[in-house]
Amino acid sequence: MAVEIRLPTLLRVHAQGNSSVSLEGSSLREVFDRLIEQFPAMAGQVITAEGSFHKFVNVYVNDDDVRYLDKLDTKLNDGDVITILPAVAGG
């Protein structure tokens, strides 16, 4: 099944300038593995070598932060949108 990953400006340089990428996968882990296969420079950017999310990165599936879903095991459905955003302050 196909899902879309939307990349923040500062990660696009690692994905040949693409702002969004369409990939196949039934879980978030699978999709991130394929993202790195396609764009090796993305390795270590969103997910650290230890396998956790980068401290200042938030990942959302259909607008919901996956830390409160099933993290990397979050199941995906056809047409889901994955959004990656850097952590910023408000106030």
Partner 1 sequence: MTLYSNVLELIGNTPLVDISQLSPNPSVRIVAKLEGQNPGGSVKDRIALYMIEDAEKNGKLSSGSTILEPSSGNTGIGLAMIARAKNYSLNIVMPENVSRERRQALEAWGANIIDSPGSQGSNGAVRMAQRIAKENPEYVFLYQYGNPANPRAHFEGTGPEIYRDCPEVTHFVAGLGTSGTLIGVGSFLKSKNPDVKVWAIEPPSGEMVDGLRSLDDGYIPPIFVENNGSDLLDRRTIISPRESIEWLRKIASIGIFAGISSGAVMAGAARCAESISEGVVAVVFADGGWKYLSTGAWSDDIDLVVERAKSIIYF
Residues forming the site for partner 1 (CB under 8 A): 8-11, 45, 54-58, 60, 63-65, 67-68, 83, 85-91
**Shortest separation between residue 70's beta carbon and partner 1, angstroms:** 13
Nearer to partner 1, 49 or 87 (CB): 87
Q: How far is the CB of 90 from partner 1 (least distance, A)?
A: 3
User: Within the chain, where are the H helices?
Assistant: 9-12, 28-38
Q: Using the minimum distance from each CB to partner 1, give the nearer residue, 24 or 46.
A: 46
Give least dist CB 68 to partner 1, A: 5
Pairing of strands 20-24, 57-61: unpaired
What are the residues facing 83 on neighbouring strands?
6, 60
Q: What residues pair up with 85 in beta bridges, in sequence order? A: 58
| CB-based burial label for 51 (10 Å; 0-12, 13-18, 19+) | exposed
Nearer to partner 1 (CB atom), residue 45 or residue 74: 45
